[in-house]
Amino acid sequence: MEVLNYKKFRVTDEMFASKGKRFLNYLIDLGFFYALFILLGVLLYIIAEITGSEGLYDFLIELENVNPIIDRLLTAVLLVIYYTILESLSQKTIGKLITRTKVVLENGERPPFEVFVKRSLCRIIPFDPISFLGKKGWHDSISKTYVVDDNVFNEQKRQHKNYQELGALNE
């Protein structure tokens, strides 16, 4: 009886999310991120007005006049937190949820938390947002992750599983 060789599942080029989807992910996530903080600012302003809290009002005024370097550092920290939390919870950000893409390791498995942290930290590298115009973005390459199209990935994974089960039945 012939024994089939078991092959480990691997992410292949045809599973990669398109550059268009990657760019759309970036735009959606950036838009959502800024909208979230604008909404938070408006909410805090309304609370300050309703409660008459001069301390909160003064804090909001100070935020408007913050040093540009501090502003960029704070924004970078908040972006790292945004990406780390969302991707570690579901392998997706809001952009990836909308475009039906997700982050996986080379073997198709879910990355561990520390990989999402590394991936998120890499996003603050200057010019990282345009690095995905190559085959992989820097935050993908450094963290050894892949952004894949959900539909193509799930179908390939299903076919791989069926092939492996067929091999087990033939033994």
19-71 pLDDT, tens digit each: 999 999 999 999 999 999 899 989 999 999 999 989 998 998 888 889 999 99
Question: Can you give the pLDDT at residue 81?
Answer: 96
CA 117 – CA 113 distance, rounded (Å): 6
What is the DSSP secondary structure assignment for residue 147, as one 8-state letter?
E
Number of domains in the chain: 1
Provide CB contacts within 8 A for 12, sequence distance 6+: 156
The torsion defined by the Cα of 131, 136, 138 and 140, in degrees rounded to 10, comes to: 140
pTM over 0.85: no
Residue 1 placed within a domain? no
Quick check: 103 and 57 in contact, CB under 8 A? no
Residue 87 placed within a domain? yes
Partner residues linked to 103 by β-bridges:
147
CA 162 – CA 73 distance, rounded (Å): 48
Percent of the chain with pLDDT over 90: 69
What is the tens place of the pLDDT at every residue in 133-164?
777 889 999 999 999 999 999 999 999 888 77
Residue 8 placed within a domain? no
Quick check: 79 and 124 in contact, CB under 8 A? yes
Taking 70 as the threshold, does the pLDDT of residue 4 lie above it?
no
Residue 6 placed within a domain? no
Partner residues linked to 149 by β-bridges:
101
Name the nearest CA neighbour of 145 among 160, 132, 158, 154.
132
Question: Can you give the pLDDT at residue 168?
Answer: 52
3-state secondary structure of 103: strand
Question: Can you give the pLDDT at residue 67?
Answer: 93
When pLDDT is averaged across residues 75-92 and rounded to a whole number, the result is 96
Residue 133 placed within a domain? yes
| CA end-to-end span of the chain | 7
Which one has a higher pLDDT value, 103 or 4? Answer: 103
Residue 148 placed within a domain? yes
Residue 77: domain span: 13-169
Residue 159 placed within a domain? yes
Name the nearest CA neighbour of 79 among 113, 148, 35, 29.
29
Lowest mean pLDDT among 60-69, 83-92, 100-109, 116-125: 60-69
Residue 4 placed within a domain? no
